[in-house]
């Protein structure tokens, strides 16, 4: 498992990260929405007991209790893709267990008691599944999961019944976006039980041309089927993106190179950068790297900047509240520093 932010093994790869998420609930205990704070914290405590069973586990993992954090810290974890808005909604009794390289995040008392996530760089869902499965087995040893012979794992929302598994991949699709093909792709994906969303999931706009493709249906398929199908679909979408890029480059070679190089020029020099423009410029540079036009910028730098320039992460790192203008100034500074290190 690789931390996706640091992952830059394959510059031409359009997949930033793969993620497997398993939803689990404990038998006989109401779903988090129905729990008061004390009972919620007891659930957290019981899961921790089932999880931290050895020194090795205690060394490699730590619990973060949302009720101990201010909202800036929690929203930073959200921006880092480690927790969901729903976990923050349950913050009075919610927590998550995180490993050192941040490839595992187990949310406690989100919509379900347990939302186990395994995240890696590039397109590698089997690897994520192997890891998630291992940890799931471990929890299963000491916890009594709600499970029905017919329905599979019981979850708060029926869309997660069955495997309780969601597989997703974050992909970079600037050419399809530029060419207004994303709605068409969403339609096709919906027909095969999948969906495509923006950088921050459900209901968020695609910023920086980054999209998450994931399965919608969890019931009636095995985990292996879901993973195989998703990888096939992701590869198809990527092929479409590549074909669109090729035809755009054929028609507008200089314009595309101009866009890519100007973006680097602005990122290296701007004094003010708002979040939307920043993600757009990073996307242009990423495309330059993927196309082999830009050779001296690492994917890892671009990945980290996507996260580090988010409003809460930015403020959290500087340990201070900032107004919009101050955020724009500091975002520009952080980006400039990262690019000048290159």
- Identity of the residue, 47 or 270, whose beta carbon is nearer to its own copies in the bound complex: 270
312 is in an annotated binding site: no
Tell whether 6 is in a known binding site: no
Binding site for its own copies (CB under 8 A): 254-255, 257-258, 261-262, 264-272, 325, 328-329, 332
Residue 253 to residue 188: CA distance in whole angstroms: 30
Is 178 annotated to bind a ligand? Reply is no
Q: Please, what is the minimum distance in Å from the beta carbon of residue 336 to its own copies?
A: 9
Give the nearer residue to its own copies in terms of CB position, either 34 or 325: 325
300 labelled binding-site residue: no
Output 31 or 261, the one with its CB closest to its own copies: 261
CB of 244 to its own copies, least distance (A): 20
Provide the minimum distance between the beta carbon of 152 and its own copies in the complex, in angstroms, as a whole number.
54
Q: Which residues lie below 8 Å from residue 101, measured CB to CB, with a gap of 6+?
A: 1, 2, 3
Q: How many residues does the chain have?
A: 342
Residues 6+ positions from 93 with CB-CB distance below 8 Å: 32, 35, 36, 37, 39, 40, 41, 43, 44, 67, 109
HSE-CB for 341 with a 13 A CA cutoff: 11
Q: How far is the CB of 65 from its own copies (least distance, A)?
A: 39
Encoded tokens for 6: 């640091």
Distances (CA, A) of 107 to 47, 54, 68, 91, 117: 11, 20, 15, 11, 8
Q: Is 198 annotated as a binding residue?
A: yes
The encoded tokens of residue 277 equal: 């423009």
Take residue 173 and report the two structure tokens written for it: 């699709």
Is residue 114 part of an annotated ligand binding site? no
50/329 with CB nearer its own copies = 329
C-alpha to C-alpha distances, 327 to 72, 163, 318, nearest whole angstrom: 14, 42, 10
**Smallest distance from its own copies to CB 328, Å:** 8
Cβ-based nearer residue to its own copies, 2 or 280: 280
Q: Is 273 annotated as a binding residue?
A: no
- Sign (positive or negative) of CA dihedral 140, 142, 148, 149: positive
Closer Cβ to its own copies, 138 or 268, answer by number = 268
Rounded to the nearest whole angstrom, what is the least distance from the CB of residue 308 to its own copies in the complex? 20
Binding-site members for ATP are: 17-21, 81, 115, 166-170, 197-202
Binding-site members are: 17-21, 81, 115, 166-170, 197-202
């Amino acid at each position: 498992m690789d931390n996706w932010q640091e992952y830059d093994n394959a510059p031409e790869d359009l997949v930033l990260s793969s993620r497997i998420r398993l939803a689990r609930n404990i038998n006989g205990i109401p779903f988090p929405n129905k729990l008061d704070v004390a009972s919620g914290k007891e659930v957290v405590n019981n899961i921790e007991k089932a999880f931290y069973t050895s020194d090795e586990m205690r060394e490699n993992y730590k619990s973060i209790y949302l009720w101990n954090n201010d909202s800036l810290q929690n929203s930073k974890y959200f921006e880092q893709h480690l927790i969901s808005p729903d976990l923050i909604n349950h913050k009075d009794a919610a927590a998550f267990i995180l490993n050192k390289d941040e490839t595992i995040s187990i949310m406690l008392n989100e919509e379900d008691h347990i939302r186990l996530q395994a995240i890696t760089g590039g397109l590698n869902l089997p690897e994520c599944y192997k890891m998630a499965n291992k940890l799931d087995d471990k929890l299963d040893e000491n916890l009594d999961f709600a499970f029905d012979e017919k329905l599979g794992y019981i979850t708060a929302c029926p869309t997660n019944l069955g495997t309780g598994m969601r597989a997703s991949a974050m992909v970079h699709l600037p050419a399809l976006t530029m060419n207004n093909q994303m709605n068409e792709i969403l339609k096709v994906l919906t027909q095969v039980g999948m969906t495509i969303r923006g950088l921050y999931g459900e209901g968020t706009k695609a910023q920086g041309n980054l999209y998450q493709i994931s399965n919608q249906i969890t019931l009636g398929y095995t985990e292996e089927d879901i993973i195989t199908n998703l990888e096939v679909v992701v590869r198809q979408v990527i092929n479409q993106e590549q074909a669109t890029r090729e035809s755009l480059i054929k028609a507008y070679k200089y314009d595309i190179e101009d866009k890519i190089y100007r973006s680097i020029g602005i990122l290296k020099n701007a004094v003010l950068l708002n979040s939307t423009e920043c993600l757009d410029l990073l996307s242009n540079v990423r495309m330059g790297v993927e196309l082999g036009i830009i050779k001296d910028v690492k994917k890892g730098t671009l990945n980290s900047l996507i996260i580090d320039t988010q409003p809460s992460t930015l403020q959290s790192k500087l340990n201070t509240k900032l107004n919009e203008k101050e955020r724009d100034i500091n975002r520009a500074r952080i980006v400039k520093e990262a690019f000048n290190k290159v």
